[in-house]
Structure 1
Amino acid sequence: MGMMLVFVLILASFLGFELISKVPAQLHTPLMSGSNAISGITVVGAILSLSGAFVIEGEVMTIILGTLSVFFATINVVGGYMVTDRMLSMFNTGKKGDQS
């Protein structure tokens, strides 16, 4: 079973690289928004996993890994939205009458 999971990870890595490398520059912002939504789901899953560790009185390592997963997934979501906002602001031409 473990070897199958490693195979899936390697296959997903190659497939992801091929897909992302073929995306035109105009589509990077919508793609980034979609990946942020997926990361948001990761945060929810990590929180649910962490709450299950407290209910069952899980091991210390389970609680530490759950906390780290919530932390890093949250950083990924916030950072992704910041990058998306910055990319979208580059396309903002300003409103009429705006002097800045």
Structure 2
Amino acid sequence: MEKSALDSLDQAIADAAGAAVHTATGGAVDPFVFRLAIFVLAIFVGYYVVWSVTPALHTPLMAVTNAVSSVIIVGALLAVGISASGAALGFGFVAVILASVNIFGGFLVTQRMLAMYKKKEK
């Protein structure tokens, strides 16, 4: 066999042995896999929650999402202000921009929804 084929075979055996030991000892789930599973489940739950909201609840829901975005922007401002690394500063800045767009867009949508309930003037 070639050296690269032996290396890949050794790697496969090592991976299988590691998985067997992990299973046999009752090891914990890898934190990355655990967080990824939570993220994927949150996507599905969020999708079904948002699409099952009746139109009468849309305006209160927008008010709540604006409040959540306000909390996010506070955290993003803290990340920008306290950060020592360039990556944290960049991610914090992007979070501030995206949360600001979300807040202002939410207010505009809420204003349009409330305008639909006003009586039209002649």
> TM-score, normalised to structure 2's length?
0.70
- Unaligned runs of 5+ residues in structure 2 are 1-30
What is the rounded CA distance, in whole Å, between the counterparts of 1:23 and 1:72 in structure 2?
24
By how many angstroms is 1:2 displaced?
1.1
Deviation larger for 61-70 or 73-82 = 61-70
Report if aligned partners of 2:79, 2:89 keep a CA contact under 8 Å in 1. no
The C-alpha deviation readout for 1:13-69, integer Å capped at 9, x for no partner, is 11111222221111111111111110111001111121110xxxx222221111111
Superposition RMSD on alpha carbons, in Å? 1.4
What is the rounded CA distance, in whole Å, between the counterparts of 1:68 and 1:21 in structure 2?
27
What is the rounded CA distance, in whole Å, between the counterparts of 2:55 and 2:42 in structure 1?
22
> TM-score, normalised to structure 1's length?
0.84
What is the rounded CA distance, in whole Å, between the counterparts of 2:50 and 2:90 in structure 1?
32
| From 74, 97, 103, the counterpart of 1:77 | 103
For 2:72, the equivalent position in structure 1 comes to 42
Mapped pair 1:6 → 2:32: no
* Secondary structure class of the residue paired with 1:31: helix
What is the rounded CA distance, in whole Å, between the counterparts of 1:65 and 1:15 in structure 2?
25
- Name which structure has the greater RCO, CA cutoff 8 Å, separation 6+: 1
What is the rounded CA distance, in whole Å, between the counterparts of 1:4 and 1:66 in structure 2?
24
Mapped pair 1:87 → 2:117: no
Paired letter, 2:100: T
Give aligned pairs, total: 92
Give identity over the alignment, percent. 33
The C-alpha deviation readout for 1:48-91, integer Å capped at 9, x for no partner, is 121110xxxx2222211111111111111011111111111111
| From 21, 25, 28, the counterpart of 2:51 | 21
What is the rounded CA distance, in whole Å, between the counterparts of 2:37 and 2:79 in structure 1?
25
Paired letter, 1:29: T
